[in-house]
């Protein structure tokens, strides 16, 4: 759990931490301190000028003042880098309401502060990836103990803001272990600045390879610290430089939620994308359903799957707000996940008690409270996600593609069936059944569900097609509810669309014909959700839709670069050779709406040489080479 900071001020109005008995910034002013210490002594804005992207790592987010000062300087610099990445750790973050109060002291930052406040996440542990300034500025918050969160970060920073309460107040944040972790995430030639000049800190940094100097401090503090890692200058990667001259290229196969999310994420970074789909328009398979639910998974031990689900859910929710602020194709209606029986209700209560998440993320409510939230008697109590939503997937896909088109050119290849892929001279080529080349590019991302099995037959992707039948009811059949419902099934009442009941889950051949038996099952699921409802439907007369989800054996998606079909034995994922330029975004099952946008952000960040938006342990869980690794570990030596 995360314990929020308490809003408190000293007599002169300086923000103060009761947890650490220390002020958040100098009494002479937080903004000038951030500008002098962290920006000025890291050589900003000059250091990012002419760069395609620039990454900053900070060890204490606090009020967010150093971030806002950096963002403000970046916006006002006509020679700024194209993309700014800011990663920051925080053990005790402020609530959104307290941040809003604190930021009022700096009216010159009001516009940026408001955008940050609107994107501020529920205070839950782990990584929170925020897109700001039209996606050109990313803020990745690592909420929790920095000694636990920093080792989970994948990537390098060009500048370090070494911040935090005084060493005597918060020694862990200045410990040798923390400084070693910071150094591991510093690029060659990275710079560092800190107001702290403690001897132990300087000695540790020197031992880790930093060239350290004392500089003129801020206000009444005589000295501050600057450092550079190694002897070189701050790096400019070849990829970053080249991308500003000639955009890198990628092919995405599949134009459902996964493929459209991938197209948007790459286009936002300036990539040229070719999107291929066998249908005449996007979102014609499972993403063609009239509505779906966006909500996370919970686990009492907050396992890796639950952490991924939380990060993905919150990211997708923010993305929807950015793409469709007026909620034309989605509704943040809240979702009740009702317990299936008494044992499940007890387990749900215990999970909420163990996690102690804030109520703006999830709470457990009893049957009476759940009925009051829903506006009708429901079958049980359950988890209540107040910001969860229903979404119209086809419109979501179109919004993603529209957003992509505003950033760069997207080439569409609809009515084109990819039957063969191969690599030659550093390029991936996609061919149709006649052997005609549909497209060629530097990278190829498979987002075409279980059809990917036929394109990489030498790999064991273990993708299964799972049939799901929806049942449609006329909108006037039920009194409108205040929330969507799920449990043994789900009930969605989207605007200007039929009521949607779902869904069957049958491993089957691809038979898209409606089945009366599955309509009957969906009606039984509705009865469990709303037991007082009297049903007068003839299943044989009901309409619906059948689509096929793609699921892996462990029901987790495959996200990342694919392994080589022939591989040397290795006991680690990093040791398995990969197929350079070939990536998977597959196996989302029934959770594509929730999971796919974050998965796309992961792959786009990997390809663009950025710090990754998920924890390293979560990324390993999603790695498409995990099945090859399990095979190596279980095979007996010859």
How far is the C-alpha of 127 from the C-alpha of 110, rounded, in Å?
25
119 and 185 in a common domain = yes
Both structure tokens of 392: 């119209």
Q: Are strands 464-473 and 543-551 parallel, antiparallel or unpaired?
A: antiparallel
471 vs 309, 340, 398, 475, 504, CA distance in Å? 27, 21, 24, 12, 10
85 and 25 in a common domain = yes
| Closest CA relative to residue 452, chosen from 442, 465, 443, 441 | 465
DSSP secondary structure letters along 347-379: HHHHHHHHH---TTT-EEE-HHHHHHHHTS--S
Both structure tokens of 18: 């009761």
251 and 186 in a common domain = no
How far is the C-alpha of 454 from the C-alpha of 418, rounded, in Å?
10
CATH number of the domain within which 344 lies: 3.30.9.10
Of the candidates 209, 239, 269, which is a domain's last residue? 239
Q: Does any domain span residue 168?
A: yes
Both structure tokens of 432: 């149709």
Say which DSSP state 475 is in.
G
495 and 522 in a common domain = yes
pLDDT digits (tens, 9 = 90+) for 122-173: 999 999 999 999 999 999 999 999 999 999 999 999 999 999 877 888 888 8
364 and 448 in a common domain = no
536 and 568 in a common domain = no
Q: At what angle do helices 110-119 and 96-103 cross, to 10 degrees?
A: 180
DSSP secondary structure letters along 438-489: EEEESEEEE-SGGGHHHHSTTS----EEEEEEEEEE-GGGSPPPSSEEESSS
418 and 373 in a common domain = no
How far is the C-alpha of 557 from the C-alpha of 474, rounded, in Å?
34
How far is the C-alpha of 41 from the C-alpha of 26, rounded, in Å?
17
Q: Does any domain span residue 1?
A: no
How far is the C-alpha of 99 from the C-alpha of 120, rounded, in Å?
9
Burial class (CB in 10 A: 0-12, 13-18, 19+), 346: exposed
Of the candidates 502, 532, 551, which is a domain's last residue? 551
pLDDT at position 442: 97
CATH number of the domain within which 427 lies: 3.50.50.60
584 and 471 in a common domain = no
| Closest CA relative to residue 83, chosen from 284, 274, 266 | 266
468 and 559 in a common domain = no
CB 230 within 8 A of CB 188: yes
How far is the C-alpha of 224 from the C-alpha of 123, rounded, in Å?
32
Q: Does any domain span residue 323?
A: no
189 and 95 in a common domain = yes
* 436 CB-side CA count, 13 A: 7
267 vs 260, 276, 415, CA distance in Å? 10, 15, 22
Both structure tokens of 567: 């591989």
pLDDT at position 458: 83
Question: Going edge to edge, which strands form the sheet with 389-391?
Answer: 292-294, 389-391, 330-331
> Which residue segment(s) compose the domain that 594 sits in?
247-285+394-462+553-634
- Number of domains composing the chain: 3
How far is the C-alpha of 418 from the C-alpha of 223, rounded, in Å?
63
Backbone angles phi, psi at 461, to 5 degrees: -80, -20
Q: Does any domain span residue 82?
A: yes
CB 304 within 8 A of CB 312: no
Both structure tokens of 294: 């966006």
Q: Does any domain span residue 311?
A: no
Burial class (CB in 10 A: 0-12, 13-18, 19+), 18: exposed
CATH number of the domain within which 135 lies: 3.40.50.150
Q: Does any domain span residue 229?
A: yes
How far is the C-alpha of 82 from the C-alpha of 74, rounded, in Å?
10
Helix (H), strand (E) counts: the chain: 18, 31
How far is the C-alpha of 623 from the C-alpha of 560, rounded, in Å?
6
Q: Does any domain span residue 312?
A: no
With tokens 């000049």, the residue in question is: 197
The count of other CB atoms within 10 Å of the CB of residue 561 is: 21
89 and 212 in a common domain = yes
CB 385 within 8 A of CB 363: no
Burial class (CB in 10 A: 0-12, 13-18, 19+), 480: exposed
pLDDT at position 234: 42
Whether the bond between 466 and the residue before it is cis, its omega within 30 degrees of 0, is no
**Element spanning 585, H or E:** strand 578-586
- Say what the pTM is: 0.94
Both structure tokens of 101: 């109060």
Of the candidates 239, 273, 305, which is a domain's last residue? 239
Q: Does any domain span residue 479?
A: yes
491 and 474 in a common domain = yes
Backbone angles phi, psi at 191, to 5 degrees: -105, 160
CB 267 within 8 A of CB 407: yes
Maximum pairwise Cα distance, the chain: 83
Low-confidence ranges of the chain (pLDDT < 70): 16, 21, 24-27, 219-220, 231-245, 566-571, 631-638
């Amino acid at each position: 759990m995360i314990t929020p900071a308490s809003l408190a001020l000293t007599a002169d109005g300086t923000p103060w931490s009761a947890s650490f008995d220390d002020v958040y910034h100098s009494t002479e002013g937080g903004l000038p301190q951030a500008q002098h210490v962290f920006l000025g002594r890291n050589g900003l804005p000059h250091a990012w000028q002419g760069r395609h992207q620039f990454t900053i790592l900070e060890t204490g987010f606090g009020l967010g003042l150093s971030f806002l000062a950096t963002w403000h300087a970046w916006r006002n610099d006509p020679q700024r880098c194209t993309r700014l990445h800011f990663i920051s750790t925080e053990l005790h973050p402020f609530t959104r309401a307290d941040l809003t109060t604190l930021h009022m002291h700096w009216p010159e930052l009001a516009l940026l502060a408001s955008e940050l406040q609107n994107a501020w996440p529920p205070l839950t542990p782990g990584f929170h990836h925020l897109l700001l300034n039209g996606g050109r500025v990313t803020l990745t918050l690592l909420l929790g103990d920095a000694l636990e969160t920093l080792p989970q970060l994948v990537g390098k920073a060009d500048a370090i803001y070494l911040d935090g309460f005084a060493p005597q107040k918060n020694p862990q944040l200045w410990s040798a272990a923390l400084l070693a972790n910071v150094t591991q995430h510093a690029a060659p030639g990275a710079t560092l600045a800190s107001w702290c000049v403690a001897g132990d800190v300087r000695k540790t940094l020197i031992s880790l390879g930093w060239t350290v100097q004392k500089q003129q401090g801020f206000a009444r503090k005589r000295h501050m610290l600057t450092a550079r890692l190694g002897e070189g200058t701050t790096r400019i990667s070849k990829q970053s430089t080249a991308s500003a001259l000639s955009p890198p290229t990628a092919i995405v196969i599949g134009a459902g939620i996964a493929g459209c999310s991938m197209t948007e994420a790459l286009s936002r970074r300036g990539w040229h994308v070719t999107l291929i789909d066998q249908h005449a328009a996007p979102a014609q398979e499972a993403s063609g359903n009239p509505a779906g639910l966006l909500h996370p998974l919970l686990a009492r031990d907050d396992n890796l799957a639950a952490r991924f689900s939380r990060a993905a859910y919150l990211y997708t929710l923010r993305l929807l707000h950015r793409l469709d602020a007026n909620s034309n194709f989605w509704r943040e209606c809240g979702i009740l996940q009702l317990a299936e029986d008494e044992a499940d209700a007890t387990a749900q209560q215990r999970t909420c008690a163990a996690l102690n998440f804030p109520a703006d993320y999830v709470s457990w409510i009893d049957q009476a409270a759940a009925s009051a939230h829903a506006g009708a008697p429901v079958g049980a109590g359950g988890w209540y996600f107040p910001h969860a939503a229903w979404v119209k997937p086809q419109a979501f896909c179109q919004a993603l593609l529209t957003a992509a088109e505003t950033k760069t050119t997207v080439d569409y290849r609809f009515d084109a069936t990819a039957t063969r892929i191969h690599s030659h001279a550093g390029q991936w080529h996609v061919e149709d059944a006649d052997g005609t080349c549909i497209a060629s590019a530097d990278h190829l991302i498979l987002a075409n569900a279980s059809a990917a099995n036929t394109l990489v037959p030498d790999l064991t992707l273990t993708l299964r097609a799972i049939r799901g039948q929806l049942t449609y009811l006329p909108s006037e059949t039920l009194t409108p509810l205040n929330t969507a419902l799920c449990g043994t099934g789900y009930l969605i009442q989207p605007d200007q669309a039929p009521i949607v009941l779902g869904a069957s889950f049958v491993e089957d051949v691809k038979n898209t014909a409606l089945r009366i038996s599955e309509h009957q099952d969906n009606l039984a699921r509705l009865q469990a959700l709303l037991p007082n409802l009297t049903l007068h439907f003839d299943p044989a007369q009901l309409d619906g839709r059948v689509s096929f989800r793609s699921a892996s054996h462990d029901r987790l998606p495959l996200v990342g670069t694919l392994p080589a079909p022939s591989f040397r034995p290795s006991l680690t994922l990093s040791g398995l050779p990969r197929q350079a330029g070939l990536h998977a975004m597959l196996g989302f099952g029934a959770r594509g709406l929730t999971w796919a946008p974050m998965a796309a952000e992961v792959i786009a960040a990997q390809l663009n040489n950025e710090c990754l938006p998920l924890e390293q342990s979560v990324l390993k869980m999603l790695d498409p080479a995990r099945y090859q690794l399990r095979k190596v570990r279980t095979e007996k030596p010859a």
